Amino acid sequence: MLETLLPILIFTALALAVIGAVRRIRLWRQGRPSRVNLFQGLVALPRRYLVDLHHVVGRDKMISNTHVATAGGFVAAAVLMTLVHGLGIANPLLGGLLLLASASMFVGSLFVARRRLNPPARLSKGPWMRLPKSLMAFSIGVFLITLPTVGLLPEGLLEGGSSWLLALVLAGVVAWGLGEMFFGMTWGGPMKHAFAGALHLAFHRRAERFSTKKGGVGRSTGLKALNLENEAAPLGVEKPADFTWNQLLGFDACVQCGRCEAVCPAFAAGQPLNPKKLIQDMVVGMAGGSDAAYAGSAYPGKPVGEHAGAPHGPIVALEGKALVDADTLWSCTTCRACVEECPMMIEHVDAIVDMRRHLTLERGKTPNKGAEVLDNLIATDNPGGFDPGSRLNWAADLNLPLMADLKQVDVLLWLGDGAFDMRNQRTLRALVKVLRAAEVDFAVLGAEERDSGDVARRLGDEATFQSLAKRNIATLAKYRFQQIVTCDPHSFHVLGNEYGELGGNYEVYHHSTFIAELYDAGRLAFAPWKGGSVTYHDPCYLGRYNGEYEAPRRVLKALGIKVNEMERSGFRSRCCGGGGGAPITDIPGERRIPDMRMNDVKESGAELVAVGCPQCTAMLEGVVDASAEVRDIAELVADALVERPAGNASGGSQGTAEMITAEEAIV
């Protein structure tokens, strides 16, 4: 009986899965076009899955091994089962492999079940709670029906008249497993992540974020430019169908593991944002309906079930409620912690900025100080509305060389808007002292410099960003320099990663990287560190955005400081709350993000926290009753500077031969 029933079951499930897949693909295709090389993407899929995705999943070894056993077992079992039981190729070798695959899957599913016994808050419940049972049903069912095939059980056992009941029960178990694994995969069950996830990896909007065999960096963090020339092109995303099709596909790939939720600073601060819920809301919007079925943590302060949307309905309502409230979108600090943690490589920040662009460019609804800051950027080229001519007032006594006079230098020192901020002026003065001590040939743009456009862009004002960027690019084109050095990671990121699309390609250094190279070249000498214990706070735009975790630590080591790392450091560093225009939009929460970060500092026991970003300095210094002092790396370096040992023209403790090569690398 099973011999006739199984092929019917398998091929019905497969046929239903194909119908579901077509329906799902039609949902994605509601999105706007996006140019992706489909063939190349599919070819790259195995590598993207096995290397890049597992690099992220592998941060949690238990889950990584569980997934290898379960998913690997399932894929093998599904193929073999179709051959053995569907097409009736009763080869004992194939049968043996099928037994092995289903056994592996069963072991994996035991671990899945164990994790679901007492699941952490970040995991979604609902249908996900039945998944381990379905996995077991599938693996046990397949295992048992395969036993007779390989002759481990007498062939007749399931065929005798008395055992029809047993056969029926087995068929039922297999049908349950097939229902979840084949049918559920394309009709919106938990297994949807496998189908959508595989295609999402293949057709990812940022193909360049994946590593390549040749050893590509695999980083792509710059926001994509809006086409402002074409007046018909929409300005940002108003409705779910305004996303590109592969963004919609990406939302569908979410496994609701909640790793993003666990690292999101806004969620931890009780602001109304949860990256996981946001992605699920986009899935709801793409298919149409309400968020009532969502079974994970809600946006803090916003109960589930009150919002609904449709593919062609607005995401943020003009009045009342739609799919998402505006304050959810404005809570994001664009720190990319969610993107860094996402095992499915979903791009949360891109989606949030896309929706912000609509709110700012079409509706003029940038909250709180947003409108004022944008008006200032338009009228004065800096967010504070200061006189552009006063950009160098802080350096009146420093006699800074100007690009306009020199025309050609090695290093262009980009000041950033910190030049108007009295705290950051101390950092800038320290940096100038360091550059002079190392005899670097540098100059500044002075009054010709404008805001890099970072804040305007993250607030969704792409028009102002592009206007600032194009004028900065035109200014930079007048002069000749080897590299740009800046103490502002936001300028560093925008100049280095986002001007390229508009025609400005530069070699940009963060000051910590530059100082590290100067030290390695023997152009700086430091007095030994005499202070207390020090920790280092990784700025998001230096670390996660640009992968620079090492240089600042190298500089601190050179100063004789042993960094007392915080629990969350490196790629898991917690945001200071100062990015993405968050201090400007200022969405209320239960706690302040910088307070939480200073608490991290306190727990590390450090008396001083070294930073490398004007925003971080401002946010962390704004913490009341802090246990640690906040100093920029440039300040620490400037304080420790001593005369280079005499006897060598360019000084340095390193050997001359090594020094020359390093010099060449810098100049």
Partner 1 sequence: MRPDQQQKQQQQGIDVAVLVSIGRHPTTGRARRAEQDARGLELALSMEAELPGTRISMLHAGPQGDGSEAALRGYLGMATGVGMGLESMTLLEQPEGSDAIPALAAHLAATSPQLVITGARAERGEGSGLLPYALAEHLGWPLVNSLASVEKVENGVVTLLQALPRGQRRRLKVRLPAIISVDEAAPAARQSAFGPARRATFAITPTTPEADSELAQWHLAPARKRPKRLKIVKAASARDRFKAAASKAEGKGGQVLTDVTPEQGAEAIYKLLKEEEVLR
| Binding positions for partner 1, rule: CB under 8 A | 231, 235, 318, 360-366, 370-371, 374-375, 378-380, 385-388, 461, 463
When the beta carbons of 148 and 370 are compared against partner 1, the nearer one is 370
Residue closer to partner 1, measured from CB, 451 or 461: 461
Residue keyed to tokens 């929460």: 589
Query: Of the two residues 208 and 387, which places its CB atom closer to partner 1 in the complex?
Result: 387
Instruction: State the nearest-atom distance from the C-beta of 381 to partner 1, in Å.
Output: 8
Q: Residues 25, 195: contact at Cβ < 8 Å? A: no
Choose between 107 and 463: whose C-beta lies nearer to partner 1: 463
CB of 472 to partner 1, least distance (A): 16
Q: Cα–Cα distance between 253 and 343 in angstroms, integer? A: 10
Amino acid of residue 605: G
- 654 three-class SS: coil
The residue (of 117 and 318) whose beta carbon lies closer to partner 1 is 318
Distance CA 397, CA 244 (A): 52
Closest of 334, 332, 311, 344 to residue 245, by C-alpha: 311
Instruction: Please state the closest distance from residue 351 (CB atom) to partner 1, in A.
Output: 19
Residue 365 C-beta: closest distance to partner 1, Å = 7
Residue 287, SS3 per DSSP: helix
Q: Name the minimum Å distance from CB 405 to partner 1.
A: 23
Residue whose pair of structure tokens reads 């970060």 in the numeric block: 597
Q: To the nearest whole angstrom, how small is the minimum distance from the Cβ of residue 459 to partner 1?
A: 11
Helix ranges, 288-415 (H): 326-330, 337-341, 348-361, 370-380, 403-406
56 forms beta bridges with none
* 113 versus 371: smaller Cβ distance to partner 1: 371
From residue 649, alpha-carbon distances to 433, 440, 644, 666 in Å are 19, 14, 10, 17
Residue nearer to partner 1 on the CB measure, 365 or 470: 365
- Rounded CA gap, 244 and 665, in Å? 42
The encoded tokens of residue 551 equal: 């240089």
Q: How far is the CB of 584 from partner 1 (least distance, A)?
A: 13
CB of 561 to partner 1, least distance (A): 42
Q: Are 595 and 573 in contact (CB under 8 A)?
A: no
Place of tokens 């996995």: 135
413, containing H or E segment:
strand 408-414
Determine phi and psi for 412, rounding to 5 degrees.
Answer: -100, 120
**CB of residue 461 to partner 1, shortest distance in Å:** 7
Query: d(Cα 501, Cα 63) in Å, to the nearest integer?
Result: 39
Closest contact distance (angstroms) between CB of 348 and partner 1 is 24
Q: Which is nearer to partner 1, 288 or 385 (CB)?
A: 385
**Residues listed for the chain:** 667
> Hey, which residues does 484 pair with through a beta bridge?
412, 508
Cβ-based nearer residue to partner 1, 319 or 405:
319
- Integer Cα distance of 535 and 516 in angstroms: 18
Nearer to partner 1, 325 or 538 (CB): 325
> Smallest distance from the beta carbon of 117 to partner 1, in angstroms?
51
The residue among 229 and 625 lying less far from partner 1, judged by its C-beta, is 229
CA angle (561, 565, 570) in 5-degree steps: 110
Q: Name the minimum Å distance from CB 235 to partner 1.
A: 5
Name which of 205 and 358 has its Cβ closer to partner 1: 358
Closest distance between partner 1 and the C-beta of residue 309, in Å? 18
Output the smallest distance, CB 366 to partner 1, in A.
6
Q: What is the rounded distance in angstroms from the CA atom of residue 136 to the CA atom of residue 167?
A: 18
Distance CA 229, CA 281 (A): 31
Minimum CB distance to partner 1 smaller for 362 or for 550: 362
Q: 73-76 long-range CB contacts below 8 Å, 24 or more apart?
A: 73/101, 73/102, 73/103, 73/104, 73/105, 73/106, 73/107, 73/108, 73/139, 74/101, 74/105, 74/135, 74/138, 74/139, 74/181, 76/100, 76/101, 76/104
Q: Supply angle C-alpha 499, 500, 503, rounded to 5.
A: 90
Least gap, CB of 231 to partner 1 (angstroms): 7
The whole-angstrom distance between residue 530's C-alpha and the CA centroid of its chain comes to: 38
**Which CB, 325 or 520, lies closer to partner 1?**
325
Q: In Å, what is the CA distance from 348 to each residue of 116, 250, 260, 338, 624? A: 26, 10, 9, 7, 32
Distance separating the N- and C-terminal Cα atoms of the chain: 80
Residue 271 CB-half CA count within 13 A = 24
CA 460 to CA 400: how far, in whole Å? 34
Which residue lies nearer to partner 1 by CB, 19 or 379? 379
